[in-house]
């Protein structure tokens, strides 16, 4: 546990039902510390994306608390928390809507009151970090899937968040684009929560894995231990595309 800074993300006893009464989360406890890169895995319908949508108030818990860098999520803190949690949707089209890449990346800082040189500096830094400065004047809908995913990350990175929450970041990418994205995520100096079915990516990127099923955390430990537990994975309908780590 980090004794100097509070967790960048702290879900405590989070319960949630969908409007039709379907239970989704049944007391989720999840902490992500400063600088951690954590995978959130589980079968379809386990509650992974529902957890992710609670991190910045896109869904609101019926019980329990969500805290970001010590700040409790409520109507008075929602705006600040959405600046601190950089949420990247599975479909980049959900967050790219401006005529050019530069305007998309500038939208968040401008929406939070930044203008002029400070806004432009944030935009340029985000484009440089994602190595997409050459795309700045392109229309997002003319880009490849991998390029759009990196632009989507840049749009939230420009807000200088405390944590990135990425929902299925490699979904739909071809192998070269997937490799570029993994390299990019590994290089970012910001805490990350990766909601994903891509277990080989998890093994490469995330020292820690949290396994959820039925709206509950069923395992939380080192990625190598969790992905080496064939019985645990089978019990929760997960499977590596090759043998467990560390085995021939």
Bigger pLDDT: 77 vs 113:
77
pLDDT tens sequence across 90-113: 888 888 999 999 999 999 999 888
Q: Is the pTM of this model over 0.75?
A: yes
pLDDT tens sequence across 5-55: 899 999 999 999 988 888 999 999 999 999 999 999 999 999 999 999 999
- Backbone CA torsion sign across 72, 75, 77, 82: positive
Q: 153 Cβ partners below 8 Å, 6+ apart? A: 86, 88, 130, 164, 166, 184
User: 181: how many CB neighbours lie within 10 A of its CB?
Assistant: 21
Strand partners, 236: none
Q: Which long-range contacts (CB under 8 A, 24 or more apart) does 244-248 make?
A: 245/203
Q: What domains sit in the chain, N to C, each tagged with a CATH number?
A: 9-235 (3.40.50.300)
Read off the tokens for 67.
């805290």
Please give the Cα distance from 128 to 156 (Å, whole number): 14
């Amino acid at each position: 546990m980090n004794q100097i800074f509070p967790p960048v993300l702290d879900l405590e006893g989070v319960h949630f039902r969908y409007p039709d009464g379907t239970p989704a989360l049944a007391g989720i406890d999840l902490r992500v510390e400063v600088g951690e890169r954590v995978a959130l895995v589980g079968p379809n319908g386990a509650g992974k994306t529902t957890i992710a949508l609670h991190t910045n108030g896109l869904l609101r818990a019926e019980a329990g608390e969500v805290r970001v860098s010590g700040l409790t999520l409520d109507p008075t803190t929602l705006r600040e928390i959405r600046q601190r949690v950089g949420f990247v949707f599975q479909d980049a089209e959900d967050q790219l809507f401006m005529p050019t890449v530069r305007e998309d990346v500038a939208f968040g800082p401008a929406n939070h009151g930044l203008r002029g040189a400070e806004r432009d500096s944030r935009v340029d830094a985000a484009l440089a970090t994602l190595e997409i400065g050459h795309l700045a004047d392109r229309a997002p809908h003319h880009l490849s899937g991998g390029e759009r995913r990196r632009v989507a990350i840049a749009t939230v990175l420009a807000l200088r968040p405390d944590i990135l929450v990425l929902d299925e970041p490699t979904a739909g990418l071809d192998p070269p684009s997937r490799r570029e994205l993994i390299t990019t995520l590994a290089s970012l100096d910001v805490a990350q929560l990766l909601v994903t079915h891509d277990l080989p990516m998890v093994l490469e990127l995330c020292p820690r894995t949290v396994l959820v099923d039925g709206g509950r955390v069923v395992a939380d430990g080192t990625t190598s231990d969790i992905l080496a537990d064939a019985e645990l994975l089978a019990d929760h309908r997960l499977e590596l595309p090759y043998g467990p780590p560390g085995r021939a």
